[in-house]
Structure 1
Amino acid sequence: MSKSMSTTRSRLARAGFATGAVAAVLLGTTTPAFAAGAVTIDDATGVTGLVETITASSSTQFGTSGTIAANFSTASVCPTASTANATNIAATNVVRVTSSSVTMSTPATLVPAVYKVCVYSGGTLVNNPTTTPIYTVSAATPALNLTTGPAGGGNQITATSANPFLTVAGTTPGVVFSVPTCPAVSVTADATHVSASAVTVSNDKTTATITVPSGVVAPNTYNVCIYKATTVGSDLIGNSSNDYVAGAPEVTLSAVTGPNGGGNTLTTTAAAFADLGATVPAVNFSTTACSTTYENTGPAAALAAPATRASNTVSFVVPAGVLAPDQYNVCIYAGNTDGTSPLVAQSSAKYSIPLAAVTTSPDVGASATNKTITITSSSPILSGVTAPGVTFSVTACLPTYTVDGTHFAADGTPKRITDNIASMIVPTTVVVAGGVPTAYNVCLYNGTAPDSTLVSNAGTYTVAGAVTLANSPLTVATSGPAQGGTLVTVSGTGFPTGAGAITASLGGSELKNIKRLNGTTFTGVTTAHAPGVVGLSVTTAAGTLTKANVFTYSYGITVLPNTAPSDTTVDLYITGAGFSELTFADTAGGDLSDNDEAHVYLVDGAYSAADNSVPGTKNNPPVAECEDAFALSDTALLCSLNLEEKLNAAGAAQPNTPVSNGTYTVAVVNTGLPASEAAANNPVQTVSASILTSGSTFTVAQY
């Protein structure tokens, strides 16, 4: 059809007939306009600053020729002509795709409003005015980089959108911090609509940098509203996607520690306090975050304090309810009206009560067993206290003296020994939990009244299952050599399981290789100890038990070398125990006389200092002296055994009389005196000699 019409028009033109508008003029008639009809769009919503492509569709109303245009209009109906102005904003990139389809780009300058999309062809409106498509623009939702800041402002934040929403505002958008929802147009500034005067716009129109105004105060939460201009009545173009919260400014306290139960005065200074005018401030101490309004009822009453102000300094007395071991935020309010006066500042650091450290002695014991213990401190924690209170608890010490199902009072009456020491009796309610050793906090108070407060940090007392020792606890081996190595067996009840659960010692020298055989028996190996009778100590989580005089350490030595030819002098290395307690005789110059100092002898058999029938002689005297004895340690000594000069019965060396070949014993003795002379000595001495063992045997023979 188009082709035949074109052919007809060509023939008419060649024949001298006019066509189109010219023909109309010649014929005295007008060209009929396109019939207005329904137009639809494929996207009916947008955002300030968003440039997007939308498509308008109709039923062949857009024609195939003539200029195609489109406006976004806030007028009541689409204007008949496509004139762009403040209420009719021209679309860009308008393209006739077909006679029934037109694409266009939405203008970047659209503000939040409801727009009619008006399409023109050849300057003539093709929309049906009563069925005009609607395009609704909403404010952009820029994101704030910071959502909190100090009350009183002064800090900078940014509001950024993915779209250049600030294009419509140029370089001077208006910004309002609004407690209620952002108004659609800006309103006169007041306490809940606070205008920001310092705003800059990024080159790409996506970001506003805003200095938070001084009227932004705690504890308010604000919407950040961005307007087309700074004048009242300007259109909203941006509503922050996240809120901005004004926090109370942090202030520094004159002290962050103080006495238990308060009574001390604190001060703090901030410029914001000068703005309080005639308002009398007040303070809350809080173990949680500061409340947005002052509290002076219920539990908070004990933590509330009146305050005074001098210019920009606030002073207050710490209330009696401020108790250890809690830590407190200090919250300052513009007034003392409960539930109403707003928060204006809070401490930058928490306030706490430093309590002195203590030690508990003993710090372990048997479950469900009364035991007297002490608490000691280097500080005078009991100064002014006459009758302390004590509780035991697995959980933390309570701020005030409390006795209940988990906080057990000490038995009897705890006693103040000095300003630094208190004694108490562990109650039988202190028991193991779950069958394993259990640690209890020992809590010391300045009395037993319900309002008595802690005077120190907690001590620790651990209980475990009870352990006992048999009356004769060593059932295998009750004696052994001083250098150790004897296997002993210990009997009792309640011996615990687990590596390291049992430690034990004889005379303070530990038993090694302890092995629990069952709940009533364990074994261990002795370590070196000076000769003598000693007691047993057994330690478990339940404490330490002792039994006196249960084991005898005897001199037992080992000699290297253990052989040498007669008529020689040989150096001996002797191991044993207790050597450091002995003072060896000075045998330099050949002085081998018996005296009250220690000696090392070569003896034919077992040494005996008992008096022989001849007064002043020994029943079995030495045959040679190991001279120049020197203790290297408690367990080792060196000496030179002289086999060239045999000693006579009186202990005198016989020149040119070597020791005869044979098997002898090396003996270490604590005194060279015969027994009778040792007993008569002042102080009295008891002769003690190393015992005869295989290690002490020495053979004189040719190699």
Structure 2
Amino acid sequence: MRKSSTTSRLLAAGLTAGTVGAALLAAPTAAQAVAITSAAPSFGTTGTTVTLTAPSNFFTGTTVGVILTTLASCPATYTTTAASPAVSFAGTNPVRVSGTSATFQVPTTATLNAGAARAYNICAYAGTASTSALLNDATPTLTYTLLPTGTTNPATGPSGGGNTVTITAPAAAPLEAYNIARWVPREDGCPATWGAADAAMDATLVPNSGSTSVATATVPVGVGGQLGSATNYGICVYSHTSAVVAGTAPDSLVPTYTVTLPTVTLNTAIGGPGSTTAALTMSSTTDFLTGVSAPAALYGPSTGRCPTTYPTSTTGYVTASVLKSANNRAAVTLPAGVTTSAIPYNVCVYTSTSTNPLSRIIAHATYTATTPPDVTGISPGAGSSRGGETVTITGTNLSTVSGNITATLGGLPMTNITAINSNTFTAVTPAHAGENDVALVVKTEVGSDTLAGQFDFLNAIDVTPNTASNKQNNVWVNVRGTGFESYTWPTAAYTGPSDNEARVWLLDGSRACTSASPVICPQNNYLAASGTAWTAGSGPRAECLTPAIIGGNELFCKLNLAGGHLVQTSGAAQTGTDVVVPVGTYSLAVVSDGGVDALFGGTASVSVVSSGSTFTVADF
């Protein structure tokens, strides 16, 4: 019959009684000022990463070396040589983390004791050179026990347990009359002794009839996944002839049992802080809410795992409600307790808030709460209705990732968005019908902000050709702009100031603005009106006739420069020698309403004088 106390097991593992006593009973004294404080985990398999903790300034150099040995005393300098039957192995990948901490991996070459557990003393050195000095006392105080490994079938299962697995123990660690399997995170190794029962992580192993190696168990509810990816557990087996009690050491370890949570997606992984009305939408291609009628959620720090069962105390977490709308979709409230933080929150969803029976985790996502964008301005504040102009948008809390920013101007999307820093980005304006005081809307991964009345789309046009001889008639001109399809176009020549159809006119754009036309003049230095007539010198000089509209943003029309000069106050045709349009620089403008009443009242839309609309009449 095998002994079941931890001391007996370590003796059987190959250490001397004096070493075991030191490992289990001795506390550091003044003479042991350089003892390592802890090694975690202290039971496990090869490949396990072990963290050593020591007093202040213990690991003073930049390097560290670790030896695992069955020698009763640590060699004075670094060496893996040991006289038979003792064995020593070099800890792989030793890393100095700080003056009080270092890590190493248990080497894959480390061996068991004839298939059974073997305890190794841990010796730390200043490096891995043969002259590297021992850092801890010659008589070591800490051990790492290499456990024999068993198997489980199946080796994978659903998050939250409830399924049955078959565990096969190794021959050197047969099952006893009483056996408990405890699931632990794979990287944590086995607890050095079994303590109090843990309903979330423990399961009773029921041996097959007459077998000391094969048993079945129901996977406990706390064996849960994390963040939609495979989560690996180890299964530690504790056996006893009469009862598994506190102090029982592990006999064997099933290295890997894997569970997976369904992958879920939040409608946004980064957003503003919580409030009484805020909520997130969680969805999945998997029916993760099947059979769940009252799910619940916790927001917690992402520096740790989600609890695999709903905790009895939610201190340190923000509780949230979950409204299930379908088996694969739910709304998760975003409470006011979710405040802005550089560290994301874990969003942990459970079957309910019950702790008896335990509620299992069914979904896990992360959410970062940060300050939404605050847009303060756009420069320049006006531009061509044809779009394609680069503007600069300023504010605070803007994303530094261009792909995370979208913006609209007057309801239309801006393009070529380029983040400069968290306070600035540039973008290219869209084509938009002429309109003043349109809104700017900026959206980032955090939220959105709207500024009303921020930009004027000016009815700019481009003209080709932009020069012709006044000895010619039927000069066809191509005009590009926006919104031409919305105008009422004439079928005949202009008849006078009461004609309210759209027109394309050659205007004297150099005329100074006058107070007689307060609406038009601030934008256009022409078409000033007084009563029912054009103010002298401000009316049209010629009309571009028979406009043909193409696609709404382009038209063709013809200028009669040799015989189409107009009377500027009335728009009527000149007579005699005045029919020729004088040599000079003009502006070609598209006017939505040619009536004096419309222009004076400010209801017409006149294209802005720009370099693109300049037209030169020459005498060549």
Decide whether aligned partners of structure 1 residues 305 and 467 sit closer, same or farther in structure 2, where only a CA change above 3 A counts.
farther
TM alignment of 1:35-184, pairs within 5 A: none
Which residue of 262, 277, 282 corresponds with 1:376?
A: 282
SS of residue paired to 1:387 = coil
| Superposed CA offset, 1:112-147 (max 9, x none) | xxxxxxxxxxxxxxxxxxxxxxxxxxxxxxxxxxxx
Contact 1:559 1:695 in 2 (8 A): yes
Decide whether aligned partners of structure 1 residues 432 and 339 sit closer, same or farther in structure 2, where only a CA change above 3 A counts.
closer
Residue in 2 aligned with 1:257? 157
State the one-letter code of the partner of 2:318: F
Which residue of 350, 354, 359 corresponds with 1:449?
A: 354
TM alignment of 1:495-506, pairs within 5 A: 495-496=396-397, 505-506=408-409
SS of residue paired to 2:612 = helix
Residue in 2 aligned with 1:359? 266
TM alignment of 1:274-423, pairs within 5 A: 276=174, 282-287=180-185, 291=190, 295=194, 297-299=196-198, 302-309=201-208, 313-325=214-226, 327-332=232-237, 337-338=244-245, 345-361=252-268, 363-365=270-272, 367=273, 369-378=275-284, 379-395=286-302, 396=304, 397-402=306-311, 404=314, 406-410=316-320, 413-423=321-331
TM alignment of 1:572-591, pairs within 5 A: 576=481
Contact 1:389 1:444 in 2 (8 A): yes
Distance 2:618 2:414 in 1: 40
Residue in 2 aligned with 1:232? none
| Superposed CA offset, 1:431-452 (max 9, x none) | 235xxx5533333332233443
Decide whether aligned partners of structure 1 residues 699 and 349 sit closer, same or farther in structure 2, where only a CA change above 3 A counts.
same
Shift of 1:318: 0.4
State the one-letter code of the partner of 1:441: N
Contact 2:155 2:256 in 1 (8 A): no
Contact 1:308 1:315 in 2 (8 A): yes
Residue in 1 aligned with 2:338? 430
Contact 1:283 1:305 in 2 (8 A): yes
Distance 2:117 2:295 in 1: 44
Shift of 1:453: 3.2
Distance 2:208 2:422 in 1: 75
- RMSD value, Cα: 5.8
SS of residue paired to 1:553 = strand
Distance 2:215 2:347 in 1: 39
SS of residue paired to 1:417 = strand
TM (norm. structure 2) is: 0.51
Shift of 1:263: 0.5
Decide whether aligned partners of structure 1 residues 281 and 331 sit closer, same or farther in structure 2, where only a CA change above 3 A counts.
same
SS of residue paired to 1:464 = coil
TM alignment of 1:607-646, pairs within 5 A: 622-625=543-546, 629=550
Residue in 2 aligned with 1:559? 463
SS of residue paired to 2:278 = strand
1:219 corresponds to 2:143 = no
Contact 2:199 2:220 in 1 (8 A): no
Distance 1:689 1:544 in 2: 34
Equivalenced residues, count? 423
Distance 1:698 1:476 in 2: 26
Contact 1:266 1:315 in 2 (8 A): yes
TM alignment of 1:188-203, pairs within 5 A: none
Which residue of 433, 439, 445 corresponds with 2:344?
A: 439
Residue in 1 aligned with 2:368? 461
Residue in 1 aligned with 2:71? none
Contact 1:497 1:516 in 2 (8 A): yes
Gaps of 5+ in 1: 1-147, 151-174, 180-211, 224-242, 614-618, 651-657, 676-685
SS of residue paired to 1:358 = strand
Contact 2:463 2:479 in 1 (8 A): yes
Contact 2:465 2:477 in 1 (8 A): yes
Distance 2:353 2:387 in 1: 55
SS of residue paired to 2:348 = strand
Which residue of 609, 614, 619 corresponds with 1:697?
A: 614
Gaps of 5+ in 2: 1-44, 48-82, 88-109, 122-142, 494-500, 508-525, 534-538, 572-578, 596-602
Decide whether aligned partners of structure 1 residues 575 and 370 sit closer, same or farther in structure 2, where only a CA change above 3 A counts.
farther
SS of residue paired to 1:695 = helix
Percentage of identical aligned residues? 23
SS of residue paired to 1:392 = strand
Distance 2:208 2:339 in 1: 54
Contact 2:203 2:217 in 1 (8 A): no
Structure number with higher relative contact order (C-alpha < 8 Å, ≥ 6 residues apart): 2
Shift of 1:356: 2.2
Contact 1:467 1:542 in 2 (8 A): no
State the one-letter code of the partner of 2:307: L
Contact 1:284 1:300 in 2 (8 A): no
Distance 1:256 1:548 in 2: 56
Which residue of 405, 429, 444 corresponds with 1:527?
A: 429
